[in-house]
Chains A and B, each alone.
Chain A
Amino acid sequence: MSANSKTLDPAATTATQEEISAEISSTHEDYRQQLLAGKKAETQPRVDFASYRSSLLRHPTKNLHHADPETIELYSPAFGQRDVHALESDLTIQHNGEPIGERIVVSGRVLDGDGRPVVGQLVEIWQANAAGRYVHKRDQHPAPIDPNFTGVGRAISGANGEYSFTTIKPAPYPWKNHHNAWRPAHIHFSLFGTDFTQRMITQMYFPGDPLFALDPIYQSITDQDARDRLVATYDHSVTSHEWATGYNWDIVLTGSNRTWMEEEEADH
C-alpha cells in the first residue's frame, strides 16, 4: 500500500477523487447550459450537492418559502466592547509562546448588499493550525497540535465596517468525504448584519490553492465569479515589514430590509 492509501474511514474509500471530480464537472456543465439558456447566475452554494456526501440527508428538499420580514427579522442583536476584547483579534498572542507557522494579517470590510458598511457587529473566525490540525476533539488528523495556537478569534467591526485579524496561515487537511480527500486551506468566518436575516457563516480561501478544483464544498458554488468571492487577495499594503504578510477580503451580506422599508415609510 502506498502512503496515501491510508484508510481513515472504510466508507470514504467508496468514491475516488476522479469520481467526485466527474460529478462536480457534470453539475457545473449543467449550470453552464442553464446560463447559456438565459437563467440568472447563482450566487450561493447549492444545498443539494451530492458530491459533498454529508449533504445528502441534510439538505431541505422543498424550496425555501418566501417570508415578508416582520419586526424582529428587521433587527440584529447588539455586540460591543462588553462582548469582545480588542486583543481577541490577534490569534498569535493567546498563549505563552509564538505559534509555529507563517504569520499573516487578514483584513477587510463587512458591507451589506447596498454597499453600506456594517458597523459595530460581531465577526468570529476559527481555523486549523499551520499543520492542518484543529483544536477539536473530533479532529483525528495525525498532525501536531500547536500548544501556542487555538485558532479562534473575534472582533467588532469598525466605523467603516473594517476588521483585521493577526493569525497563522492554516494548512490544508484530509477529510473523509472520499478517498484521499483534502480541503483547501481556509478560515471559517461568522458574520452578523443589521438585520438577523443577513446572518451568515462562510469560509475564506487563499489565492491559487491547487485543491480548489477537487473540493466539493468549494465547488458546491456552481458559478466561478461567486466562487472567486471567497478567495482573499494578497495585499502588499497589508503586509508589514519583517513581521507578517497581508491578505484582504471584503465580505458582502445580503440587503437590509429595514433600511429601505424605513426610507419608504419616511417618504409617505
Chain B
Amino acid sequence: MSQAPELKLTPTPGQTIGPFYGYALPYEKDNELVNQAHPNSVRLHGVVYDGKGEVIPDALLEIWQADEQGQVVSREGSLVRDGYTFTGWGRVAVDNVGGYNFTTLNPGATEEGKAPFIMLTVFARGLLNRLFTRIYLPEDTEALANDALLASLPEAERKTLIATREEDGSLRFDVRLQGEDETVFLSYPRES
C-alpha cells in the first residue's frame, strides 16, 4: 500500500460514552444479526475486563462483518430488524457481569486466501475514546499464518485477536482493556 494522503480537515476529538447510554443506544434485537433459528447462526460471546481483571459492567460493543460468502453487504434495517435481512452490523451493551452475546454468522474471507475476521469496536465509561480490534476466526490456520497484521505481532499479543471455537460451535472472544493479555487494539491510516 502506498502512502495515504494528508487530511484536509482535523478530526473532531472523541469522548467517553459515559455511563448513561443505556436508554439511548441499545434497542430490540440489537445483537441479533441473524435470528437464533437461522440454521447457520453462531453465538459470539465473551467478557470485558479491566486492568485488575475485574469485569466491566457498562461497556458497549459493536461488530461489523461480511456475510458467510465474504460479501460486504449494504442493507438498511439494522435498527429495525425484520429477522431475515443480514445487515452485517450489531450492537450490544454488556450485562452486569461484563458478558456479551451476539447471534451472527461466520464471516467468509473477503478475498481469496485471507483470514476471515469480524471488526469490533469497544466503548465504555472510563474509556476516553473508542477502540478498534479484529476478532479472527480460528479455523483457517494457513490464512492466519499469512495474515499481515497477525504476522507483525509477537505470539502473546497475536493470540488476543483470535477467537476460540467452543464445543457447541460458538465463538468465544474476551476483551481485556489493560493488563496481562491486554487485547491488541488497532489504529488505521488517516486518523489525524
A residues apposed to B, CB below 8 Å: 43-47, 49, 52, 54-62, 64-73, 75-84, 111-115, 122, 124-126, 128, 134-139, 150-152, 154, 188, 190, 196-197, 199-203, 217-218, 220-221, 225-227, 229-230, 251-257, 260-261, 264
- B16 interfacial by beta-carbon distance below 8 Å: yes
- B119 interfacial by beta-carbon distance below 8 Å: yes
Report how far A71 CA is from B75 CA in the complex, Å.
17
The one of B10, B23, B77 in contact with A136, judged by C-beta atoms closer than 8 angstroms, is: B23
Q: A45-B129, A199-B62 are in contact. Are A115 and B9 (CB under 8 A)?
A: yes
Cβ of A62: which chain B residues have Cβ within 8 Å of it? 157, 182, 184-185
* Sampled A-B contacts (17; CB under 8 Å): A56-B51, A57-B51, A59-B178, A62-B185, A67-B134, A70-B111, A70-B114, A72-B66, A83-B77, A114-B9, A126-B20, A152-B24, A154-B79, A188-B15, A188-B17, A196-B119, A253-B12
**Consensus secondary structure, chain B interface:** loop
Beyond A64-B187, A199-B132, A253-B11, 4 additional pairs, beta carbon < 8 A: A68-B149, A83-B79, A152-B23, A251-B12
> Is B24 within 8 A of A72, CB to CB?
no
B residues apposed to A, CB below 8 Å: 1-2, 4-5, 7-25, 50-52, 54, 56, 58, 62, 64-66, 72-80, 87-89, 107, 110-111, 114, 117, 119, 121, 123-132, 134, 148-149, 152-153, 157, 177-179, 182-192
> Is A65 within 8 A of B178, CB to CB?
no
**Consensus secondary structure, chain A interface:** loop
Identity of the chain A residue whose Cβ is nearest the Cβ of B123 in the assembled complex: A201
